[in-house]
Chain A
């Protein structure tokens, strides 16, 4: 991965961090690229929709239904966001 992509990834992760804290109602939560839905008890199916909605309003685009269904890790969120922002 080149330097620019790494920078984008870090910037997206920063903004995701805030969204995760807000939507999962946990100010001390720290997420990383490797965090998966299975790792976070609060990340249930309804929280997932709040995360999706939070990401959509933060980054100003819409996921499609199959993405909403398939995303189950922070890495997948970051990848999907990068794809939509391109």
Chain B
């Protein structure tokens, strides 16, 4: 190793977004070099945004995006959507200054694949603002509302040592925040993002304050705790400013003199990090969070090269600082597995030697059965990651690739721009904090299904082996001994239904997103026919794998939403669900089912869904949207390779 390579680079602070590659060149020059065609320019900007630019650079970039959108033809939105850029409208409600955040947030959004339209209400209490703009909000509802509360807006103050007064103060601030959330949620019908409060570096710094009723620290920490709990219960989203400010330091987070000069809520240098966190939450809520961690082996999961150094020569586990840090990295991966993240391995190695390390190294924390897919060979890593993606049926946008080698990282980044590839500090002991700060696996809800996911993918591998053994697909399906349980939406399934609706991108006919509250409203809507379905077989329970919403329009039932988990593709579940819908429709006296396919960059899989089910094409729009119809009288029952259990409550037809 040369001396230059051995010298560690200076550690980057969290607000520099150290997991992103460092920017090349000056933003001004990069913008000047953008292509003239607006769509091409947006594509180039999206790539350009994948770097740790500073606030001023992001602002220039956001401004450029706005100017492109302003002068572009109206069709640009639809075209951009086909290229994977999704329009999102965000409303920010702030009692402090907020307009200076706009351009940096817009530039950050495009890194996440969003074309952001921002409405900002600054300098004003949110409640009167919402009241005054009620009609506008109805006409052009934002997709998300961020209530950017800060300590100044909530004015937390109580006399010291008065426990009851402190509790009342916190209760009042909490009630105010939840009221704003409720009004915003009702006006827009969309999820609301709530903020915790950062600790105030200007408050007294007495160690006992956290336990002292009425002290600023006690009030803020009580409020944050209650807010987090209530947000979760009410189905709102949480932006944990206290935690973010804690990571960078309260002093660095604080606006300092910019509060006095211009009522900035926090320091300008923190805007890129703030924007990144907003976008993580929005991306997660829109089903764009990542779910797969692909790990390299040599010098990533352990120190040394197993093919050269042998199992006993690896640095792993107790005995050396380096070994300890690789063990910690493995523990991190395992902790993510327990949260439902799929672990895979892609490594240039001899497969037998690599597996031997997994089986026989006494300090290995990750075991062979923790890994959903191994691709250990001498092929190109980008090709291997692609192979893993098709093996486990998830898009590359779900992937994170962790590798110590900068050349491999660069290669994968260039070949597979959808895959997130974190930059890593030179020293492995510093990888974990950078990786965790990147927040790749942001989630806005957590269900039992998440915890079981890895097991489900394992079971799928067993099914694949069974199919290989039997050969004939129909015989294979019959051999699985499947049971499909169908019910209409209910309280028990609500969280998982909302999660399916917010996360499914591939088997999703219309990509319409509904919040948990909206899903709850559908349970009692007499004009809606809803279906949730679970699939179990001899290899295990797949959990809830499909959700369908039909809206009654006289004797026509329009399929508003049809979602299925890709885990159960090819199992004829969609045919069984159609059969169920037809029966419900007949029982309710409906004559026709109307289907609609709205193309996105990610749902090409279901372009022919309705055709395959026997619907006739009824319309063909220039933007690729198609409509379909099926006369329920002409449908004849199929013989399906599964047992179907429709629960008594299934279908709200009887309620209509």
Question: Which chain A residues have a beta carbon within 8 Å of chain B's beta carbons?
Answer: 18, 22, 25, 45-46, 49-50, 52-54, 57-58, 65, 68
Contact = CB atoms under 8 A, between A and B. Distances in A.
Interface of B: 28, 54-56, 59-60, 63, 97, 99-100, 257-258, 260-262, 264, 268
A57 B28 contact: no
Q: 3 nearest interchain CB pairs? A: A49-B262, A57-B56, A53-B268
B325 to A, nearest CB: 35
Chain B facing A: main interface SS = helix
Given A22-B59, A22-B63, A25-B63, A65 B260 contact: yes
B262 A46 contact: yes
Nearest to A50: B100
Contacts of B60: 22
Nearest to B97: A46
Contact of B261 (A22, A25, A49, A54): A49
B56 to A, nearest CB: 5
Nearest to B54: A57
A38 to B, nearest CB: 20
A46 B100 contact: yes
B548 to A, nearest CB: 47
B151 to A, nearest CB: 20
Nearest to B57: A57
Contacts of A46: 97, 99-100, 262
Contacts of A57: 54-56, 268
B390 to A, nearest CB: 45
Given A18-B28, A25-B63, A53 B258 contact: yes
Contacts of B56: 54, 57-58
Contacts of A58: 56
A57 B59 CA distance: 12
A49 B258 contact: yes
Contacts of B260: 65
Given A22-B59, A22-B60, A53-B100, 20 more contacts: A18-B28, A25-B63, A45-B262, A46-B100, A46-B262, A49-B100, A49-B262, A49-B264, A50-B100, A52-B261, A53-B258, A53-B268, A54-B56, A57-B54, A57-B56, A57-B268, A58-B56, A65-B257, A68-B257, A68-B261
22 contacts: A18-B28, A22-B60, A22-B63, A45-B262, A46-B97, A46-B99, A46-B100, A49-B100, A49-B262, A49-B264, A50-B100, A53-B258, A54-B56, A57-B54, A57-B55, A57-B56, A57-B268, A58-B56, A65-B257, A65-B260, A65-B261, A68-B257
